[in-house]
Structure 1
Amino acid sequence: MKTAKKTRTFLSLSFLFSWLVWGGMLMFPISAQFFIPLLFLGAFGPSLVAIYMVQTSRDSRVIKGFWLRVVDIRRIGWKWLLLIFLIFPLILLVGYSFLFLLGEELPNFSSYFSGLVDFEAVAFFLIFMMLGGPLAEELGWRGYILDPLQEKWGRLGGSIMVGSFWVLWHLPLFFIEGTSQFEKGFGITFWSWALQIMVLSVIFTWVYNHTQKSILAAVLLHFMANFAYPLDLDVKGEVVFSLVRLLVTLPIILSWYKGSPAKEKIVARFNLS
């Protein structure tokens, strides 16, 4: 199957699977006991489709390489592993520091660990956080579709395209009462969230490309991004965190174009040194 066709097939099946599950939640009454399982089932669309397409490729090298990228932590390296676990808490710290300087009250950070009073609670929290996004999505977004998109459109173009599909894929959740997306609504919080998705896409591509295309690295990044998400931001908070996120991506994007033909053309055109 040609790359373009595989990309279209992946996107079509991922959206179809997830939107059918979430659409069913919108159309039919769902009892409380089935709400979370169905929500998670829909979230697994990208990863399930990626696994299906890899396994049915009948190429043993592709299959083995895919699963090695999922489980082999050695591909990441300790420096990048440290960055994975620190970058989003640092963004959280910087964002709230700016808000504090602007006279805003800081949130109660204990809320990030509320209810984690014993081993069972901690284990449930870790499983819940790992399933609800990282494992459900990253085998698809980064593990399957990122490579062909950045091969055709470059690292930034590929990141923007994955981010755009990522935002669109989430849209049904904004209509399902009880989800975090429903609570955001379609005001400034929505646009701040959409911008974060685009920023995450750039950061994920950057880390992914520096960790031998590790899907595990993307899974861990997704986990940390979800965990270190700012709480209860007002309009000023959303603006501040949006600016901080953009500033984080700026050096990444500049590094991608350092020494590139595009940069050399700009330098020659304007006689820059």
Structure 2
Amino acid sequence: MTGCQLALLAAREGAAETRGGSKPWLVEDGLWERIEPLLPVVERRFRYPGRRRIDERRVLCGILFVLYTGIPWRHLPQELGFGSGMTCWRRLRDWNEAGVWQRLHELLLAELRAAGMLDFSRTAVDSSHVRAMKGGPGTGRSPVDRGKTGSKHHVIVEAHGLPLAVTLTGGNRNDVTELIPLIQAVPPIRGRSGQPLRRPKRVYAHRVYDHDVYRDRVRRLEITPVIARRGTEHGSGLGVYRWVVEGAIALLHWFRRLRIRWEIRDDIHQAFVTLGCAVICWRRLKTSF
């Protein structure tokens, strides 16, 4: 199936969801109340104002539409009123450079902690390979996909499966080499008085991460590594705690734009990943209302 056919299929499915009343890309009032203060203020020129800037909330809906459906920017339906695909792409880029998506993710994690919905007693790590159709930084020849160019999403979650951080590397990167950068990518999580949370008590991982050098590095961070040993029989029991990270990866890949990397620029793909993490956190937070 060609790229145009995939885009047409995504557009049709998106239109079907719209007709059926399901519009997950429409920004809810509660989410917008959290995002709007984070957006950079753009002052309009008075002498040569040019065309009026499209409403920020509508553009955000367009960005979410692309994230949910995976449709190419140039095929973003104009009749939806989200602006052009290029406008949405520029706004995604600018807001990512301003740190909007990362700050939104941290804000939602803090609210989850304040609501008692964050368990930092243990974390779990894993990775997932995605095909990179156009190459670019953060890609490599994947040993699990017949040497085709791809990227890896390295994910760390807390005890309930909420994503704390996701890093992006080439598809040829060994998972264990990303263990320490992934732990260090966890932001300080506030939400309660006292010191913000930064380091979990334990980190769970499967046999791919079995390396004594990295176990020692994790211990230096005052974290207990619980990693399955190579050569041992399956059924170590760690799956009781590790399954939550696999569930988080499945949730991330429920966003069609994250199943395949279409962006050449790694920062744009990372922006989509971070936005996806924020949306997952927002869904979980809504259950506490």
TM-score, normalised to structure 1, is 0.29
Structure with greater helix share of residues: 1
TM-score, normalised to structure 2, is 0.27
Structure with greater strand share of residues: 2
